[in-house]
């Protein structure tokens, strides 16, 4: 047996045209899938109730889920199932309760996951997926809202559904027309559209999104000051009549590099920093008061501010600051945030 390595590919003849051909084929796939999306956009234009088109069906699906406060049970087999899992995840993370139920597993006990009042989003390009028969029958038997996402209006799934999200005809990008490509791209995009319109219908905000994404970089960016700040006895605070000697003790004990000067009600009157303290060390420690050396207009933030925005406030100055007080609407000091808190949280 000849065990010598294969010779390197030649840069002449047919091989020389391989990169150009591969890019041409790749562009053809993208053009085919883009054409499918454009066809779907056109099918949704000017949709209104009663016209029987994709636009009207889409509106009915949104209203059916939102007005009924329904959980969405997504189901699909094969490639449609993979797309369905992603649609379910997007729905759930944007405020619409959703689960994925595998149609084959549904026939072996998972139908118990479906509840009264659910909406079932069944995805099948052909509309004739045999494994979906039991979940379709269950939805009909218990009066669940059945939304079909399919490319065939006359299919078994479409005929059984309350609402049909009918995908327009578009050739698959696969050259032999068999592998789901354009069709799965259209399914995914339509699922994204459904999730985002429901998000907007619910008035879902960035802070709501952060609740469902507490982990990872995204969750970190959406954390707020009130989640990281120090409160209560941890805050370095003192009255305007506090002697400089006691100010030094309070600042040293709390180790924030500053002290807030507050009135009897806890409203912030000013701030003393390490820099202010150094300038005042030549004064009489027992007769110089906090009010004598404080900055009466310190930079402050709201406890509801995004932590990332608080970092910008702290850095967007000629001399960046390492600690900042958070005040409520009445001007009361409710917390203090240190740069180290932002570092620990992965924000700075």
- Please give the annotated binding residues for Zn(2+), written as ranges: 102
- Find the DSSP H helices in the chain: 18-44, 54-67, 79-93, 103-106, 133-141, 156-160, 182-202, 206-212, 216-221, 225-228, 244-254, 274-280, 290-293, 307-315, 339-344
What region, left, alpha or beta, does residue 235 occupy, with left being phi > 0 and alpha being psi -120 to 50 degrees? Answer: beta
- Secondary structure (3-state) at 258: strand
Phi, psi of 124 (to 5 degrees): -160, 120
Annotated binding site: 102
* CB 66 within 8 Å of CB 199: no
Q: What spatial distance separates the first Cα and last Cα of the chain, rounded to whole Å?
A: 61
Nearest to 345 by CA among 305, 303, 311: 311
Tell me which residue has tokens 């990281």.
228
* CB 312 within 8 Å of CB 304: no
What region, left, alpha or beta, does residue 15 occupy, with left being phi > 0 and alpha being psi -120 to 50 degrees? Answer: alpha
* CB 54 within 8 Å of CB 40: yes
C-alpha–C-alpha distance, residues 124 and 113, integer Å: 20
Residue environment code for 193-227, b if the CB has 16+ CB neighbours within 10 A, otherwise e: bbbebbbeeeebeeeebbeeeeeeeeebbbbbbbe
C-alpha–C-alpha distance, residues 55 and 87, integer Å: 19
- CA distances, 321 to each of 283, 310, 338 (Å): 25, 11, 9
């Amino acid at each position: 047996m000849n065990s010598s390595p294969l010779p390197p590919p030649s840069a002449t003849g047919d091989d020389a045209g391989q990169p150009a051909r591969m890019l041409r084929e790749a562009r053809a796939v993208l053009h085919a899938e883009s054409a499918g999306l454009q066809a779907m956009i056109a099918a949704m234009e000017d949709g209104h109730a009663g016209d029987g088109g994709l636009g009207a069906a889409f509106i009915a699906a949104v209203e059916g889920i939102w007005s009924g406060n329904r959980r969405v049970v997504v189901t699909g087999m094969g490639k449609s199932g993979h797309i369905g899992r992603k649609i379910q995840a997007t729905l759930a993370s944007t405020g619409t309760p959703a689960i994925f139920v595998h149609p084959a597993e549904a026939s072996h006990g998972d139908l118990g996951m479906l509840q009264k009042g659910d909406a079932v989003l069944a995805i099948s390009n052909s509309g004739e997926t045999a494994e979906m028969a039991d979940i379709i029958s269950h939805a009909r038997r218990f009066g669940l809202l059945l939304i079909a996402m399919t490319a065939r209006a006359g299919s078994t799934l479409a005929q059984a559904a309350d609402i049909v999200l009918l995908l327009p005809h578009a050739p698959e990008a696969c050259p032999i027309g068999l592998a789901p490509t354009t069709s799965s791209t259209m399914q995914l995009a339509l699922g994204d559209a459904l999730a985002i319109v429901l998000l907007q219908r619910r008035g879902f905000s960035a802070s709501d999104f952060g609740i469902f994404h507490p982990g990872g970089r995204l969750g970190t960016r959406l954390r707020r000051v009130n989640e990281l700040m120090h409160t209560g006895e941890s805050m370095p605070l003192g009255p305007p009549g506090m002697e400089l000697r006691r100010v030094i003790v309070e600042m040293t004990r709390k180790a924030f590099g500053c002290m807030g000067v507050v009135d009897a009600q806890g409203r912030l009157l000013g701030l003393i920093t390490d820099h202010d303290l150094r300038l005042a060390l030549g004064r009489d420690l027992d007769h110089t008061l906090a009010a004598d050396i404080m900055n009466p207009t310190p930079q402050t933030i709201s406890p509801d501010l995004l932590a990332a925005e608080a970092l910008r406030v702290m850095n967007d100055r000629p001399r960046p600051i390492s600690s900042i007080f958070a005040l409520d609407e009445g001007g009361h000091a409710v917390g203090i945030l240190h740069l180290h808190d932002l570092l620990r949280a992965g924000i700075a």
